[in-house]
Chain A
Amino acid sequence: MASGQIDIRGVSKTFQVDGRPLVALERVDLDISAGAFITIVGASGCGKSTLLRMIAGLERNHRGEIRHGGQVIAGPSLERGLVFQEPRLFPWLTVAQNVALGLENAKVSGETRRRLVAEHLALVGLTGFAQAYPRQLSGGMAQRAAIARALVNRPGILLLDEPFGALDAMTRAHLQGELQRIWAHEGITAVLVTHDVDEAVLLGDQVVVMAPRPGRIAEIFPIDAPRPRDRKDEDLIRLRNAVLEALDAIKDEAPRSAVPH
């Protein structure tokens, strides 16, 4: 499984908001080695989604370079799956049909296709809802369907933007476990954005802490605890507190001017 390494070099992204430049990301450098599990935390608006969308190949016109397996990323690829911050299910398709969108360009037979869709619906606990329409789902169920859609063709790199934010604690814990299992079993690379520091520490090999205005990487915490991990593990709790302190320090820091250089 050559999921490939991701190299982010000096990446800056400026949006125009009301005719004025807004620096969403400023000189971000990050190496994500193949098979790693990276989690990203940071205040709202610090550019987490923007960074993820850039890795996916959805944002154009940025400075710096992002490479995947040595190749500069110029657009989306089936090798990089993305779970958006919103479910984005197509409302005219059933849940099963929505998940099957992920296999639209996969070279698999109709039989395998049906089996894969069913397996992934089971994985996210939506088996009974295969024929339901998105409007019949709760927010958390819709997000689970979106996760199944992103997983179904097993991209080498899986990018997840707050995938479990809308879920109840039980379902979240279950899906965290499943995600770890898939990641370990398939040897894929995972990059997960979250607001939940416990989740970041539980899942990540590294926790990337971002700071806002302008969006940048403030600190990277390596998490060396052995897997499978126990969220009540002393080391993890210590690390969680360290990450929380880093976030607090960022919050107290006076915002810098957001004018590009």
Chain B
Amino acid sequence: MTAIDLPRPAPARALPFRLLAPAAAGLRDFAIALALPALILLLWSLGSAYQMVPQQILPPPAYVFENFRDMLASGELLQHAGISAVRVAGGFALGASLGLLLGIAMGLSEAIDDYVRPLFTAIAQVPTLGWIPLLMLFLGIGEALKIVIIAKAALVPMVLNTSAGIRGVPASYMEVAEVFGFSRWQKLRRLILPAAVPPIFTGIRYSLTKAWTALVAVELLASAEGLGYLLVWGRQMFWLDTMIVAMVIIGVVGFAMDKILALGEARLQSWRIDA
């Protein structure tokens, strides 16, 4: 690449500040984000230290952490987490790729949209939990049930965001394509798909989040393994430390996935700002 004579950023004097400012801001945001969790942890410690809640109901944080270490060391936690991860990966891959295809088809074709959207909306309105009883009758309570439930949860946001992204390609760009005599395929490849990448990525992000929450729901109701199962199991055995560990892990993993995808999304959106 040739040297680009781009408009120069700020003068050298301001440079150290410019470099530090984002890092400092990031650190501050991080601290702010941790404030509430820290407060809850504090109340929890105080609550159990002063026996405001019986220890059988709310074990102290140190106890829960110890349990977490034991479960980690024994491999139990990783085994459950691994099973959950495989289920989410399978269901998400299935649901998101079907959702992508359906969303593209609905975005491109008014006719397909007219046929599919009413039923799709109705299906999407029934929450994931509502599908489990019916699907149990057809699929039993094996892996197929879990994959299908997770896939359904992943499909919905993918379809909505993809079709909206494709519909949302600005008419002004479509006119450019027309002036240059683009074929349908050229419009799709050169304009519609690239323009729809950011909304599709948003779809992937919501899709994965939904898949993760659906996983927990289906494991709560119909599973003998996985993080969701750990949660019910802990409650049934009154091992509340186990239950809390499972909850925290589910929350932290979900949070981390969403955060990572949000970063990718922000990068993709950057050209949108002045588009």
- A-side residues, CB < 8 A to B, are 56-58, 75-78, 80-82, 84, 86, 88, 90-93, 101-102, 104-105, 128-136, 153
Given contacts A90-B176, A92-B195, A128-B3, 9 further A-B contacts (CB under 8 A): A76-B181, A81-B179, A88-B175, A90-B195, A101-B190, A104-B186, A128-B2, A130-B2, A153-B180
Closest beta carbon of chain A to B28's beta carbon, Å: 28
* B binding-site residues for A, Cβ under 8 Å: 1-7, 172-173, 175-176, 178-183, 186, 190-191, 194-195, 197, 270-275
The answer, among B1, B172, B195, B274, for a CB contact under 8 Å with A135, is B274
Q: Which residues of A contact B190 (CB under 8 A)?
A: 90, 101, 104
CB-defined contacts of B271 to chain A, threshold 8 Å? 91-92, 133-135
CA distance A78 to B175 in the complex (A): 13
In the bound complex, how far is the Cα of B4 from the Cα of A129, in angstroms?
6
Contact status A77-B181, CB under 8 Å: yes
- A58-B178 in contact (CB<8A): yes
Which residues from A are CB-within-8-Å of B275? 91, 135
Number of A-B contacts (CB under 8 A): 76
Q: Are A135 and B273 in contact, CB atoms less than 8 angstroms apart?
A: yes
Q: Tell me, in angstroms, the Cα distance from A90 to B180 when the chains sit together.
A: 13
A105-B2 CB under 8 A given contacts A84-B172, A91-B272: no
Minimum CB–CB distance for A186 against chain B, Å: 19
A80 to B273, CA, bound (A): 32
Residues of chain A contacted by B274 (CB below 8 angstroms): 91, 134-135
14 pairs from A and B in contact (CB 8 Å cutoff) = A75-B178, A86-B172, A91-B271, A91-B275, A92-B271, A101-B190, A104-B182, A104-B186, A104-B190, A105-B181, A128-B3, A131-B1, A134-B274, A136-B6
State in angstroms the CA–CA spacing of A82 and B181 once bound together. 12
* Complex CA–CA separation, A77 to B181 (angstroms): 6
Cβ–Cβ contact A105 & B173, under 8 A: no
In the bound assembly, the distance between CA atoms of A93 and B194 in angstroms comes to 9
- Bound-complex Cα distance A129 to B176 (A): 21
Q: A78-B180, A82-B179, A136-B7 are in contact. Are A131 and B2 (CB under 8 A)?
A: yes
A residues near B4, Cβ cutoff 8 Å = 128-129, 131-132
Among candidates B3, B172, B186, B194, residue contacting A88 with C-beta atoms closer than 8 Å: B172
Shortest Cβ distance from B189 into chain A, in angstroms? 10
Contact of A90 with B181 in the complex, beta carbons under 8 Å:
no
Note all chain B residues with C-beta closer than 8 A to A92: 194-195, 197, 271
Nearest A residue to B275 via CB reads A91
Q: Would you call B180 and A128 a contact (CB within 8 A)?
A: no
How long is the Cα–Cα vector from A93 to B272 in the complex, in angstroms? 12
Alpha-carbon gap, A78 to B177, bound state (A)? 11
Determine if A90 and B191 form an interchain contact, defined as CB atoms under 8 angstroms apart. yes
Cα–Cα, bound, A101→B180 (Å): 8
Contact between chains at B194 and A58 (CB < 8 Å) = no
Is there contact, CB below 8 Å, between A104 and B180? yes
Interface centre among B5, B175, B180, B272 (most CB of A within 10 A): B180
Q: Are A88 and B180 in contact (CB under 8 A)?
A: no
- Candidates B5, B178, B179; contact of A128 at CB < 8 Å: B5
**A155 closest partner in B (C-beta):** B179
Complex: how many Å from CA A129 to CA B175? 25
